Amino acid sequence: MQQEQYYLYSSVGCHLCEQALQLCLTQLSSGQIRVVDILDDDDKEPEQKGSLYDKYGVSIPVLKCLANDRELFWPFDELALQEFLA
């Protein structure tokens, strides 16, 4: 099983996030990317609640590389994604 290498910050019902995920899956396997709901704070400590929403609430979808913490903000196309992944 491949380890996740990227997070796609998203939210339920976000049609742009769905488009971004489909685009990402043309370049990455489903095992390489994890969709992270910025509103899902159930598993976080109280001091961390809301931090993803505060950071990405108006920017989603955002693709984050876990290896170097680089982020690719929407809108991005196939070429921008390829350059980000290179």
Confidence bin at 83 (pLDDT 50/70/90): very high
Q: Mean pLDDT over all residues of the chain?
A: 89
Q: Quick one: CA dihedral 82, 84, 85, 86, positive or negative?
A: positive
pLDDT at residue 16, as a whole number: 97
What integer is the mean pLDDT of 6-12?
95
Q: Which domains does the chain have, with CATH numbers?
A: 6-85 (3.40.30.10)
H-type helices in the chain, by residue range?
15-24, 51-56, 78-85
Q: Which pLDDT band holds residue 37 (cuts at 50, 70, 90)?
A: very high
Which pLDDT score, from 0 to 100, does residue 61 have?
A: 98
Instruction: Give the pLDDT mean for 27-39.
Output: 94
Structure token pair of residue 8? 């796609």
More confident residue, 48 or 10: 10
Q: What is the value of pTM for the model shown?
A: 0.85
